[in-house]
Amino acid sequence: MLRIFGRSRTIQISIAYVTLADRHLFIMTRNEQDYTFRLLVVDDEPNMINSLKRMFFADNYDIYAAFDGRQALEVLASVEIHAAIIDVNMPGMGGITLLEKISEHYPNVEAIMLTGRGGVEMAVKAMKLGASDFFEKPLTDGLRKKIHNIHDLRHLKIENARLRRQASRRFDYPDLLGNSVHFLRLKDTIAHIAMLDTPILILGETGTGKERVARAVHHMSPRATKPFVVVDCAGISKTVIESELYGHAKGAFTGAMQESCGLIRTADTGTLFIDEIGELPLDVQGKLLRTLQENEVRPMGCSESIAVNVRFIAATHRDLEAEVEAGRFRQDLFYRLNVISINVPPLRERKSDIPLLFGHFLEKHKNPHSAVTSISEDALHLLAAHDWPGNVRELENAARRLIALGGKERIAPDDISRHLLTAHKTADVVSSEDVPNAKPTGLTLADYERAAISNALHLCGGNRKKASTMLQIGEATLYRKIKQYGLGNEPWR
C-alpha cells in the first residue's frame, strides 16, 4: 500500500486518482510484498511528486511521498527507506535541514537533492552533509539512472549477504578462499553438487584453482574419507598415459617388469581428478568413456575387466566444444563428463578477493629469514590494478617473490614496482578507477613507471639496451623517460 503524507493528514492510497488540498495527484499503488526497494520523494509541489511517481512507476519500487521535512521524518520513522529524493527549497523544514537529520539519524538512506535554483555553493554544502548527488530541475534521465544505481547496489549487497550466510552454513572447506559474489556462488554450487555421485567437468583458465575446487567437492562428499587421486594429463607422456590410468600386467609391454594397478583402481571408492583432460589422446578417451559407462577397467595385457567404484571429476582450460568440433575430443565423452559443469572465475573477475588471498599467501609462505609480514593498503590497490593473467597461481608466486626479495616488514607500492612490474609491460598498470571500490592511493601512474624504470636499470647494471628489453619498450622511449624522471645521474652499479 502506497502511503502519501499530506499537508494536514496521512492517508492510505488505494485508488488511481486522489484529490488533496484541491489539487490532483497521479498516484499508482504498489504491493509491499512484491517490491522491497522503498523510495521517498519529498517536495512541496504535488506536480513534482506526480512527475517523480511517473518516472519510477515502471521500476517496481515502493514509493512514499511527503510534502515537507517534518512529514518526511514521519515516514522515515515508520518504514525503512532506502533512497530519498529531496527538494532543497520547501516551506517549514527545508531540504538541507532534513538532509542534516537524515545524515545523523538514518545514515543508510541515500539522499539525492533537487533544486529549481542551482548553485555550486548549495551543491557543495549538500554533498558535505552527506548527499549522494545533486540535480537541478527540470527532471532528467540522470536522476533515474542514479536511483537505478542505488537500487542495483543494494540488490548486490543483499545477494552478497545471502550468499555469505548460505555459504557459511553449508560450505566447510577452508582451503578454497574467496568472499566475492562470484566465488560465493561457486561455493554454493559446490555445496549443492558434492553429495551427488555424477561426473563433474570443471572449466576455467590456468591458475584459477580448478584442483582446489575438485578437492572441495571430494571433501564435502560421502567419499571424503576415501582416496583423492590426481591425474595430470598434461604432465604424463601420451605413450604411457593409458598404463598410468589403467595399470598393466607384468610383461604387458617392454619394461613392464611388474604388475601395476593404475590410478583409476587406486582411486577405488574415492574420487579421481583428471586434470587437463583435453590433452588425453583420442584412443584413451574411448577407453575412459567405457569406464564411465560400465564402471570397470581392463589393465593393459589383461583379458578380464575389473569393477571399480570411482567418482570422476575432470578439468580443462580448453574450450571442449571447440575441441569436439575440431575432432580432437570425443563428443560422446564430452556429453558424459558434462552432466554437471562448474566455471571457476578468473581472478580479474573477483578482484575483491585479492586482499584475502594475498594475506593467506603471506602467512602460508612466511620465512624466518625474511622481514616481510604484511602489506600496505596502497600496495594492495596496486595489486588489484593488475589483471593477473596467471590468476591465483600468479598471485601466489608474486607473494613468494615479495617475501623472498622484500627487505622491510610491510610491503609498500615501491616494492611492487621494483619486484613485480618489470615482469609486465609498464602500460599494464592502470589507475584505481578501473578497480571496483578502489580508494585513491595518492600515487600516480608516473610514480609506478619511474620505479619500474629505476629497478630495471638497477638490475641491468645501467645497461639501457638490456633495460629497454626487460621493460619491453624501445631504447628511444627509455632514454626519453630517463630524462623525464631525472634518472640519468643515478648510480646503477
> What is the per-residue pLDDT across 431-483, written as a single tens digit (0 to 9) for each?
333 333 433 444 455 666 677 777 677 667 778 877 777 676 777 778 778 88
pLDDT at 213: 95
Pick the most confident of 101-105, 141-145, 252-256, 308-312. 308-312
Domain with CATH 1.10.8.60 in the chain: 348-484
Helix, strand, coil distribution of the chain in percent, nearest 5: 45, 15, 40
Residue type, 273: F
> Distance between CA 218 and CA 237 in Å, rounded?
27
> Distance between CA 217 and CA 222 in Å, rounded?
10
Task: For the chain, give the mean pLDDT.
Answer: 80
H or E stretch at 314: strand 311-316
Q: pLDDT class for 29, splitting at 50, 70, 90?
A: very low
Say if domain 2-153 classifies as CATH 3.40.50.10700: no
pTM above 0.85, yes or no: no
**3-state SS, residue 192:** helix
Q: Which residues contact 51 (CB under 8 A, 6 or more apart)?
A: 139
| Annotation: CATH topology of 171-343 | Rossmann fold (3.40.50)
Domain with CATH 3.40.50.300 in the chain: 171-343
pLDDT at 35: 45
pLDDT per position as a tens digit, 332-376: 999 999 989 999 999 999 999 999 999 999 999 988 888 888 999
pLDDT at 445: 56
Q: Are strands 23-26 and 110-115 parallel, antiparallel or unpaired?
A: unpaired
What single-letter DSSP state applies at residue 375?
E
Q: DSSP strand E in 122-178: where?
A: 133-136
| Annotation: CATH topology of 348-484 | Helicase, Ruva Protein; domain 3 (1.10.8)
Q: pLDDT class for 421, splitting at 50, 70, 90?
A: low
Q: CB 385: neighbour CB atoms within 10 A?
A: 22
pLDDT at 493: 47
CA distances in angstroms from 289 to 65, 143, 285, 341, listed in the order given:
65, 58, 6, 17
CA distances in angstroms from 262 to 10, 60, 256, listed in the order given:
79, 60, 13
Q: 190-206 b/e with 16+ CB inside 10 Å = b?
A: bbebbeeeebbbbbbbe
Domain with CATH 3.40.50.2300 in the chain: 2-153
Query: Is the pLDDT confidence value at 276 over 50?
Result: yes
Give the chain's end-to-end CA distance (angstroms, integer).
77
pLDDT at 166: 58
> Distance between CA 482 and CA 453 in Å, rounded?
8
pLDDT at 431: 34
Cell digits for 77?
Answer: 520513522
